Amino acid sequence: MPSSRPVSLTARALGAALLLSTVPAVAATAATQGPTPAAATAVPAAAPTVTAAEVMPHLQALQRIADHNGGNRAHGTRGYAESVAYVKRALDRAGFQTQLRRFSHDGKDGYNLIADWPGGDPDHVLLSGAHLDSVPMGPGINDNGSGSAAVLTTALQVAKAGLKPERHLRFAWWGAEEAGLVGSADYVKNLSADDRKAIDLYLNLDQAGSKNLQQYLVVKDEKNGGAAAFKAFENWFGSRGFATFDIPLDSSDTESFGKAGIPTSGFSSGVSDCLHSACDDLANVDPATQATSTNALIGVVWQYATASATARP
């Protein structure tokens, strides 16, 4: 049922951005039809790898959006609405089934973008996500355009490969993380008991392109059963000569899922000197680190997507 609340500036901006993107505007939830599972090809033998040239254009696009909208992409702004529209357009064209889920915070509408790849066991979901919003003080290109770009690139690689996964693959871009994990908390709160149980594992990326990389900070969730996913990331990085350090669940949107008892992992490339500042722009991202982070997510997503859906994550 359509909301009876007045449509905010953000909702109007999101609608306009979606129209300009040739995607139908929606008020709260929209879905598009993608290819049927039968159209997917056989599972590739190994995960694909990408270069910085395949990831950085997404960050360049988010920088342009911020530049055209007062220097930021924060919750409730036109900059955030256009960021959502950009990601949604890419996913729709690739054949994902997308939904916009509206929530409200501080009197402003916010949106989570959810994208499902057709196929896989719906009772065993692998969910990967990142927050898409910035702080009002800057464009948020490392925090967290970098994580959003890595998740988007991973989703597009799934489509490019025509992956036919064992687990159902879902990707998400959260709103209002910088306001206190609002978007991801709203998503988890509104899951039915069955839908919550169906999520085998949540993987989160926050700050994936830091220039001062010393070690990867990997979320270790032993309480809810996410330790194996932690080990998968640790092994991926270790086999390529990167040091890791474990961090707790309360470091980002992982907290929303951990509180609900959903197994969780993910990682960060570390906090940059420009955190929450105007200088968190395109120059604040190291392309090589961004590519490594993206390939780590692709590798672990492929591992869990192609394993038996009944195997413990």
Parallel, antiparallel or unpaired: strands 199-205 and 121-131:
parallel
d(CA 50, CA 307): 22
Residue among 166, 177, 234, 255 flagged as catalytic: 177
Tell me the chain's radius of gyration from C-alpha atoms.
18
- The DSSP string of 151-177 is HHHHHHHHHHHT---SEEEEEEEES-S
Determine the number of helices (DSSP H) and then strands (DSSP E) in the chain.
Answer: 9, 8
Under a CB-based contact definition with an 8 Å cutoff, are residues 31 and 99 in contact? yes
Under a CB-based contact definition with an 8 Å cutoff, are residues 270 and 207 in contact? yes
166 counts as catalytic = no
| Residues known to be catalytic | 177
